[in-house]
Amino acid sequence: MTDPTRRHLLRASAAGLLAGSGLLGACTPGSSDDGSGSGAEQPKGKAAAAAKPKGTLFVWMHESGAYHKVFMKLREQYEREFPEVTVEPQFIPVGQYDTKLLTAFTGGTSPDVCKIGAWHLHDHVAKQRMAPLVPEVFKASSTDELAARFEPGGLEPVTVNGKIYGLPVDFNTVFLLYRRDRFEDAGLDPDRPPRTWEEVEAFSKRLTNSDKSKVGMQWVIGEPQWSVQQLTALAGGTGGILGDDGKRAVLSRPAGVKALEYVAGLGNAKLRDPLFGAGLFGKGTSAMTFSGYFAIDMLTTYNKKLKFGRDFDVAPVPKWSGGKQISPAYSWCWSVPSGSSNQTTAWHFVNWLQDKERQRPQVEDAGIISPVKGWPELVKGDKALQLMAKEQPHADFGPQIKPWTEMAKALTDTMAAVAQGSQSPKAAAKAFDQRMGSVL
């Protein structure tokens, strides 16, 4: 048995040597050059359930100050409970993360566990980069039994072709952020945010000045992830962008054209800020925008004079009058690459992180949600997370397809074209459908 204190000293020494030699990033299990994985044969069924966690786990995730601290404490706890396991985390700047992960897949240096955007999961699975979850490691006899431990729909973003390829973490439904102070200045009730898109339009007229240097609703333009979120809400859910079978684009239908006409009529595409929509909102230039839970901390860091609940607030994403409630949603997930030679221990660690006892510090100290049954009980004192819990039954993750990146980029170009007036909504919708026809 390895002494934990000695192990951590050795780890620190090794990390210094490897960092100096440039080898730290390459010190990971191997996979084949084509990204399809070549991990060792893994235990299945009862053998997987009985397998003892051991070995070194290389865990990759994007940088996050609050979660970094929480994860390091959890890592130490896991290593105390399972002293034959060493967890080696690597925190990578979010802007570099996807590129570094793709390089690792193609170069045969993928980690044992990685936190990835679930919107990329279909593409990774199609390229055989990810291992399907082994329910027995989770003390479940089937994936259905495992799914029953989560809120309804909680595993939707990590399910591909009926198999589960990860467990959701950093699960979010999107909010309408609004400036209470701007509402008060315009004579609007800050305790009564808009509930429909028609009301958003009416409120925006009162919140927009004559030269549009200040606006009501401001779209997040130029960010593919947020293009999907916004048009999922406006076009009537997933089926408003692609057909129900996911094999053809349908944005040129009336619902899609209506959504783009709406985008063209609100906000000011000429307004710029390094933090995109959040920056404009933080300065008070815009009074309403889309974002997730992470934005609350980001905004108060960006503008230290801002106070949540006093200067700005959250509300459910509006719906069309007479239409259904749609809560655009996204999730990251813990997944295990197929190239890992220690998949059983990797899944064991992921399962351990999902336990309610470990959920509490992740929620309370970092705002990181995994949609396990009963998670709303952990957030009773947090208004934004309570709202997220109410929105979850209406969650819509947008089209889940292999060419997600191509679709998101096409939607981003489409929104920019109509917002800037370079294309009419009808022409832009038709161009999107034609562009997607070559990749679907």
User: Per-residue pLDDT tens for 80-95?
Assistant: 999 999 999 999 999 8
What is the rounded CA–CA span in Å between residue 326 and residue 237? 6
**Was domain 175-329+396-437 assigned CATH 2.60.120.20?**
no
Q: What percent of the chain has pLDDT over 70?
A: 89
pLDDT(378) > 50: yes
**DSSP code string of 293-335:** THHHHHHHHHSTT--BTTTEEEEEPPB-TTS---EEEEEEEEE
Which of 310, 282, 283 is closest to 295 using CA atoms? 282
What is the rounded CA–CA span in Å between residue 317 and residue 373? 24
What is the rounded CA–CA span in Å between residue 79 and residue 413? 47
Domain ranges of the chain: 38-173+330-394, 175-329+396-437
Report residue 284 as tokens: 């008070």
Which of 188, 185, 220, 184 is closest to 202 using CA atoms? 188
pLDDT range class, residue 39, cuts 50, 70, 90: low
Evaluate whether 38-173+330-394 and 175-329+396-437 have a shared fold. yes
φ, ψ of residue 411 in degrees (nearest 5): -65, -35
pLDDT range class, residue 48, cuts 50, 70, 90: low
Q: Tens of pLDDT along 337-374?
A: 999 999 999 999 999 999 888 998 998 888 899 999 88
Cα–Cα–Cα angle for 411, 290, 312, nearest 5°? 165
Amino acid letter at 186?
A
Q: Specify the pLDDT at position 40.
A: 58
Q: Tens of pLDDT along 398-439?
A: 999 999 999 999 999 999 999 999 999 999 999 999 999 999
Average pLDDT, rounded, for the chain: 89
- Residue 26 in contact with residue 97, Cβ under 8 Å? no
Q: Tens of pLDDT along 197-223?
A: 999 999 999 999 999 999 999 999 999
CATH architecture of 38-173+330-394: 3-Layer(aba) Sandwich (3.40)
Helix (H/G/I), strand (E/B), else coil: 396: strand
